[in-house]
Every structure is written in C-alpha cells, then in structure tokens.
Amino acid sequence: MKWNPISPDDILQYLQGHLSKDDQEAFEKRLSNDAELRQQLAHYQALHNITEDQNTIAFQQKVQEVRASMIAKPKNKPRLSSPLYVKIAAVVVAVIGISVFLYQLVMPDGQQYHELYTEYYTPFVAEGAYRTADTTLYQSLVAHYKKEAYDQVIQAYQQLPKEGIPEIIHIYIGNSYLQVDAYQKAIQVFTSIPGTSLYYETALWYQALAFIKLEQQEQALQTLKALIVYNGSYQKQAKELLKKVEILSLPLRPE
C-alpha cells in the first residue's frame, strides 16, 4: 500500500481494523512521525464513533417551539375561551409533558446518565509505538493499553516520573481509569493536559463523559460548551450530547 498521500479511506480502514498486519504497522509508523496525520485520525475517529440520535434533538426543539408558542401573547387576534379550547390546550400540555419526561420517570435515578455515558463512550484508539528517550516504561504502558489491560496500564503509570509525561500518555491513562470506574482520577488526568496541547480537545471530551457518569451535570454542561466553542472534531458530538444533558435537567412537570 502507498502511504503518500494517505486517503480518508485508508484512515477509515485503519479505524475499522481492516488493514493487513504489514499495512497497519506501516500506518502506525507514519502516524508516530506525522502530527497532521494524528490530527486527521482524531477527526475521523470522532466521526467514526458518532451515534446520532436526531429524533431526540428534533423532539427537544419541537417541545421548545410548542412551549414558546403557548406562552406567547397573540397579537390582533381574538382570545378563545371556549371550554373545548381549554380542554384541547390541557391535553396538548399533558401529552408534551409526558412525552418529554417519560424517560426520566421510568428510569431509576442515575440510570439516565449511565445510559448516556455508555452510548457515547468509546476508548481512545491507541497510536503507534511511542518513541522517547526512556522507551521501556512508555512502550510497556502503550502495549498494555493496546491489549486492553487497563489495570496494568495504571500500574505502569505509577512507576513513571510525575513530571514530563507526554499528553498522549495521559490520554491512555485517563481512558484506563475510565475503564476501571475510577472517574475522578480520570478527570484529574485529563485536566492536566494544557489548552495548547494537540490532545486538549480529546481530553475535554473524555472529561465531559466522566462528569456525566458521575452525574455532575453542571460540570458536564460547562465542559461540553467549551468543546463547542473549541470548534474541533468533537463539536458535533458535543452539541448533540449537550442537548440530551439539558433534557435531563428539565423539571419533571411542565410549567
């Protein structure tokens, strides 16, 4: 396979695991030395992992439109006051309220956030072998991550010096903490990645998911809004997820 240039189809084949062993190794070798390719991979990874739920978004927008129309004062139109109109309006309000909040009523406390986390969380795809002056510890950590041996990733991390750990290693470590349900530790790792890092947006995304899993709604909303402002490869997912978290924040009874 020719890797210059690498096409979007090549990247998708890599993400889907359809490359041969030799092609995968060649791709990962190129990936370890090509920052632009890593950025493209992150973009396609986000698109690859998106699970759209346009019905939820459309329904929420429709509810907002109906609510707005209900409270808006009609201009230059006679006010209807017949008993039939009142009954119809009451039915509309009841149907809207039941439809929007049925999910919240039938699911146990916290289950809604767990479902959202499960829907959107996909482990970060490991990049090629990491090259650094101290190869042994880092390569061991990356090898454990690729094998999904997350406990061993954390053990390897605990042996690393606490200063100078590359951002990509932090992404692996944070994801490993998420996999063993250590969400607060994952958040601490992700927040250590600076805003100037190539992996800052990725860190924000997984941080938002950790907040959702912990039912820390306000922090999740703030982080998702930061992702939208960042305007990167996770923006579309962040907008979609933001709407769903906002739905969970609505009161159980319409005003």
Domain 119-249 bears CATH identifier 1.10.357.10: no
Whole-number pLDDT of residue 164? 85
Question: Please, which pLDDT band fits residue 99 given cuts at 50, 70 and 90?
Answer: very low
Closest CA to 209 of 232, 231, 177, 233: 177
Question: Please, which pLDDT band fits residue 135 given cuts at 50, 70 and 90?
Answer: low
Q: What are the tokens at 179? A: 């996999």
Question: Please, which pLDDT band fits residue 129 given cuts at 50, 70 and 90?
Answer: low
Identify which has the larger pLDDT, 193 or 161.
193
Identify which has the larger pLDDT, 28 or 225.
225
Domain ranges for the chain: 8-49, 54-107, 119-249
Closest CA to 248 of 53, 60, 66, 54: 60
Closest CA to 14 of 168, 26, 2: 26
**pLDDT of 51 higher than 90:** no
Closest CA to 208 of 53, 46, 63: 46
Whole-number pLDDT of residue 35? 80
Could you give the dihedral angle defined by the CA atoms of residues 158, 224, 127 and 147, in that order, rounded to the nearest 10 degrees? 60
Angle between helices 150-158 and 167-179 in degrees, nearest 10:
130
pLDDT above 90 coverage of the chain, percent:
41
> Mean of the pLDDT values across residues 131-152?
83
Instruction: State how far the alpha carbon of 19 is from the alpha carbons of 1, 4, 48, 108, in Å.
Output: 10, 16, 16, 43
Identify which has the larger pLDDT, 55 or 47.
47
**pLDDT of 44 higher than 50:** yes
Question: Please, which pLDDT band fits residue 249 given cuts at 50, 70 and 90?
Answer: confident
In whole numbers, what is the pLDDT of the chain averaged over residues?
A: 77
Whole-number pLDDT of residue 93? 46
> Mean of the pLDDT values across residues 203-216?
96
pLDDT above 70 coverage of the chain, percent:
66
Whole-number pLDDT of residue 134? 52
Backbone CA torsion sign across 101, 106, 112, 118: negative
Question: Please, which pLDDT band fits residue 2 given cuts at 50, 70 and 90?
Answer: low
Q: What are the tokens at 26? A: 């060649």
